[in-house]
Structure 1
Amino acid sequence: MHVQEWLDTVPAAAVYAVVGLVIGLESLGIPLPGEIVLVSAALLSSQHGGVNPVILGACASAGAVIGDSIGYAIGRKGGRPLLAWLGRKFPRHFSEGHVATAERSFQKWGMWAVFFGRFVALLRIFAGPLAGVLRMPYWKFLIANVLGGIIWAGGTTAVIYYVGVVAESWLKRFSWLGLVAAVLIGVASMLVVKRKAKQAQTAPQEAEPEPVAAAE
Structure 2
Amino acid sequence: MPGRKRGTAGVHDWEKAKAAVLEHRDTLAAFEDHASIYAWAKENGFATKSLFPKLKIELHKQLDVDYEAMREAAYALRREQIAAAAADGPLIEIYTAADGQGSFAVCGPDGAVVAYGSFHSDDRVFIEGDQTSADLSTAEFAVFIAGQAREELDVEAVRLRLHVLNHEVSADDPVLARAAMRARVDLSIEVSHSNAALEWTQEPGYKQWRETNLVTLVVTEEMATGGGQ
TM band (smaller chain): under 0.3
| Structure number having the greater strand percentage | 2
